[in-house]
Amino acid sequence: MFTRAVTVLIAVLCLADVSAFAQPQSAGPSGAILFENVRIFDGKSSTLTGSMNVLVRGNTIDRISKDPIPVDRSANTRIVAGGGRTLMPGLIDAHWHAMFVRPTPAALLAGDIGHLNLVAGAEAADTLMRGFTTVRDVGGPVFGLKQAIDEGVIPGPRIYPSGAMITITSGHGDFRQPFEVPRVIGSPQSRGEQTGAAMIADSPDEVRVRVREQLLQGASQIKLTAGGGVASPHSPLDVSTFTEPELRAAVEAADNWGTYVTVHAYTSASIRRAIAAGVKCIEHGHLMDDETAKLIAEKGVWLSTQAFPDEMAEVFPPGSLERLKARAVFAGTDRTFTLAKKYKIKTAFGTDILFSPQLAPRQGELLAKLVRWYTPAETLIMATATNAELLTLSGERNPYPGKLGVVEQGALADLLLVDGDPIANIDLIKEPAKNFVVIVKDGKIFKNTL
């Protein structure tokens, strides 16, 4: 037994050793990067600075200065001549599903998990190349993908994983067909559960088990579906799902681990019940009323919402119930953002792109859409410093200790060099391939076309 444990340990150590050298070729040297002559959007201020110099050392921003920063101009310090371009924090998507972006719903359930992981890996590289250096993953089996990215095996964003989204029998995320019921506790799991996409729980005790299983695997926050959803076959939009004691059980289990629960919820009733149970963040909120928006603000709860494009409904077949539900939700977008502004709700930006390799390249465009309700500066602040503030709710379970979403001394070096001024011209973020000329994550250069 002891020998076997030692063998396993040695195997693990060897793997760790190998991965340390398996950096993507596009990554820069792990020494220092000096950005000369850049104007800074710091993630918080609505104006750019004048010309500055920024030194990155290791994975953090070491120094920001108007005056030239003297460095050892040896091979290990990469100098980037900014030419007056804008240096800004990497973008953050607060509602992402790294495993669900490209496959169809059918492929997700029927596909080989190895294939799904490789597809998600390719998408993660593209996500980073769009300037999204961090995503908050609110459901899906991303622990392996996250590990591969963190080890440098493949390029990709930082991932704040929720693991499986937790739902009830018949709830959003229960992808079973009617012939698969009844479920007997202890019987083999449904396909959706086997893949780790979603887990079903129908009592406070079951909820506790499912929450703790995600925490065991490294979840930085917990996601429950508190009401009906668009993409699930047997989940009407108007329903509330978990009871308050069930939601409370999840909140308590997460709280014991120093982190928090976020819930998928569109309707006022499901949002109110979640808030009563101690949930700290609402995903979506598109069907909420004025009073509920006011309650969210009063309780200091976060709203992580999305400006869904109409085309997103088209991933579902014409005439399908899913497409009708999508249209009903999307009709609430304008009211949701208007209420969020009216009550000054702490609002996070996310895209929730699902099952659509066509939409994924438009991730930045979905951010730029927010100028319908916010100024360009407010829009960029939301996707950087504000989203980063939401991430801090993970407390000790934060997988990336350090400051994200800002350009300031001591912060983690996730940086974009933009060819132009994104506050004056927000459209620049719609075309990251052309306009993000340098992309740095964790102090490493993943793109440099200068």
Output 246 or 352, the one with its CB closest to Zn ion: 352
Identify which of residues 283 and 442 has a Cβ nearer to Zn ion in the complex: 283
Report the C-alpha gap between 87 and 340 in whole angstroms.
29
- Contact at 8 Å (CB) between 397 and 258? yes
C-alpha separations of 206 from 49, 200, 201, 225, 245 in Å: 52, 8, 5, 15, 12
Q: Smallest gap, in angstroms, from Cβ of residue 263 to Zn ion?
A: 11
322 binds Zn ion per the rule CB under 5 A: no
Q: Which amino acid is at 102?
A: R
Choose between 27 and 107: whose C-beta lies nearer to Zn ion.
Answer: 107
Using Cβ positions, the residue closest to Zn ion within the complex turns out to be 352
Beta carbon nearer to Zn ion, 155 or 229: 229
C-alpha 338/C-alpha 287 separation (Å) is 12
Nearer Cβ to Zn ion (322/352): 352
Smallest separation, CB 129 to Zn ion (Å): 22
Of the listed pieces 107-115, 212-220, 292-300, 345-353, which binds Zn ion according to CB under 5 A?
345-353
CB of 60 to Zn ion, least distance (A): 31
Stretch that binds Zn ion, among 19-27, 349-357, 373-381, 442-450 (CB under 5 A): 349-357
Residue whose pair of structure tokens reads 């596009």 in the numeric block: 26
- Whose Cβ is closer to Zn ion: residue 42's or residue 352's? 352
Q: 88 vs 353, which CB is nearer to Zn ion?
A: 353
Name the residue among 135, 196, 194, 191 with its Cα closest to residue 161.
135
Query: What is the rounded distance in angstroms from the CA atom of residue 445 to the CA atom of residue 310?
Result: 35
Nearer CB in complex with Zn ion: 98/200: 98
What values do phi and psi take at 266, rounded to 5?
Answer: -100, -40
For residue 120, give the 3-state DSSP assignment: helix
Beta carbons of 85 and 38 less than 8 angstroms apart: yes
- In this structure, how many other beta carbons lie within 10 angstroms of the beta carbon of residue 88? 28
Q: Name the minimum Å distance from CB 140 to Zn ion.
A: 9
Which of the stretches 189-197, 245-253, 344-352, 389-397 binds Zn ion when contact is defined by CB under 5 A?
Answer: 344-352
- 57-65, 219-227, 241-249, 352-360 -> range binding Zn ion (CB under 5 A): 352-360
Query: Which tokens belong to 188?
Result: 């083999």
Residues 401-440 interacting with Zn ion (rule: CB under 5 A): none
Classify 8 in phi/psi space as left (phi over 0), alpha (psi -120 to 50) or beta.
alpha
Residue 281 CB, nearest distance to Zn ion (Å)? 12
Applying CB under 5 A, the site for Zn ion has a residue count of: 1
Q: Residue 145 in contact with residue 121, Cβ under 8 Å?
A: yes
Select the residue interacting with Zn ion from 93, 126, 174, 352 (CB under 5 A): 352
Q: How far is the CB of 19 from Zn ion (least distance, A)?
A: 30
**Near Zn ion by CB under 5 A, which window of 54-62, 82-90, 348-356, 402-410?**
348-356
Nearer to Zn ion, 99 or 201 (CB): 99
How near is the Cβ of 308 to Zn ion at its closest, in Å? 11
Query: Can you tell me the distance from the alpha carbon of 41 to that of 407, in angstroms, rounded to the nearest whole number?
Result: 7
Question: Burial letters for 13-46: b for 16+ Cβ neighbours within 10 Å, e otherwise?
Answer: eeeeeeeeeebeeebbeebbbbbbebbbbbbbee
CB of 323 to Zn ion, least distance (A): 17
> Which range in 225-233, 317-325, 351-359, 417-425 contacts Zn ion by CB under 5 A?
351-359
Give residues in contact with Zn ion (CB under 5 A).
Answer: 352
